[in-house]
Structure 1
């Protein structure tokens, strides 16, 4: 079965990652070796390399391979950097494989970020807007990647800390599930 997963992993990189303009070679190399199937319940391992989100815990999902590849590439992670993975077990292992020191946050309160000064922060779920505690935990030149979503389609947002403040840019459309505990404010709708 492991050779089937290895083939599926290579196929994922060739058909979902590289075709989405993910050209960072160290990132591609990490995506080729990280066993995504080990991060989901055994009964869902067959979904690990599908072009879909996969639930790994109640209310928590791994992002689609294409989207996490694009999000990580936009963050430009480099060996030796300090990273925080928020509800992002797959991204955490990919970043560790790339040589980053990774802290994982996957408890009930995902806004309680302590011990800031991170070079890279990534979240695999969507939130309506990045919490101030996340952007506040960025080191100088640090980058945060998260999908901000209030409707059916979200936008991957890349925040960057500079000496003169915080910058934000939209990177690409994405539709990951909203993280539990981050409700969208309901408004008037037909």
Structure 2
């Protein structure tokens, strides 16, 4: 007689079969994935998909949710974004696109403070409730247009865009501290690359193109530049 695998077995399988093979090897990241209960950030209707290698719609019709960017990113993508920016215990983080609050919970496990911006009121409520239930006290969710960032609270050590953009607005880069890092999935479907941008001086930045993936668009970010000079 077959028995259903336990949640802990499913979590272990997610880490070992999806995340670790995707070059997520930082032991602190792997430990967080084992302790932050991903299934508690998934809408009840989709809880059976919590550990599956896919994006999970957060509200309404699945296709509409994906078009509107109202999803949880696949586990391996969240894990690798976290590994790329490598938040430190003294650092302040800005996340754009709170979704269900899961990425904010992961970031809060590494950083001193996380502010997560979400434009959709229903998701603001969901993320706040999920973080509260999970006992995460150093992350807050604000209803705001993340494309503008949050200059009044900056500068930030880390900025994470939890979705894709055609390009990173200069206004967001200006909200990084010198030495700060911004990670974003940049490009046009079907070719997007994860960019890790580091502020190296008052007017200087370096960009490393790290790995290819595809993610739904974040709302209100600028369209791609049509002209190259």
TM over 0.5: yes
Q: CA deviation at 1:165?
A: 1.1
CA distance in structure 2 between the aligned counterparts of 1:63 and 1:20, rounded to whole angstroms: 15
Structure 1 unaligned regions, length at least 5 = none
Cα distance change, pair 184–54 in 1 and its aligned pair in 2 (3 A): farther
**Equivalences for 1:169-184 in 2 at 5 Å?**
169-182=208-221, 184=223
Give the match for residue 63 of structure 1: 73
CA distance in structure 2 between the aligned counterparts of 1:179 and 1:104, rounded to whole angstroms: 13
CA distance in structure 1 between the aligned counterparts of 2:71 and 2:156, rounded to whole angstroms: 23
Greater Cα radius of gyration, structure 1 or 2: 2
- Relative to the length of structure 2, the TM-score reads 0.74
Alignment length, in residue pairs?
Answer: 185
Contact 2:167–2:223 (CA under 8 A) maintained in structure 1: no
**Equivalences for 1:25-40 in 2 at 5 Å?**
25-40=27-42
Cα distance change, pair 100–55 in 1 and its aligned pair in 2 (3 A): farther
Q: Which runs of 4+ in 1 moved over 4 A?
A: 183-187
Q: CA deviation at 1:139?
A: 0.9
Q: CA deviation at 1:141?
A: 0.7
Cα distance change, pair 134–186 in 1 and its aligned pair in 2 (3 A): closer
RMSD, aligned α-carbons: 2.1
CA distance in structure 2 between the aligned counterparts of 1:16 and 1:100, rounded to whole angstroms: 28
**Does the residue aligned with 2:6 lie in a helix, a strand or coil?**
helix
Q: 1:122 aligns with which of 148, 160, 170?
A: 160
Instruction: Name which of structure 1's ranges 139-148 and 49-58 shifts more when overlaid on structure 2.
Output: 49-58
Cα distance change, pair 143–150 in 1 and its aligned pair in 2 (3 A): same
Give the match for residue 46 of structure 2: 44
Contact 1:9–1:33 (CA under 8 A) maintained in structure 2: no
Q: CA deviation at 1:124?
A: 1.7
CA distance in structure 2 between the aligned counterparts of 1:172 and 1:50, rounded to whole angstroms: 21
**Equivalences for 1:1-190 in 2 at 5 Å?**
4-57=6-59, 58=65, 59=68, 60-88=70-98, 89-107=101-119, 109-114=145-150, 115-163=153-201, 165-182=204-221, 184=223
Structure 2 unaligned regions, length at least 5 = 60-64, 121-144
- Relative to the length of structure 1, the TM-score reads 0.88
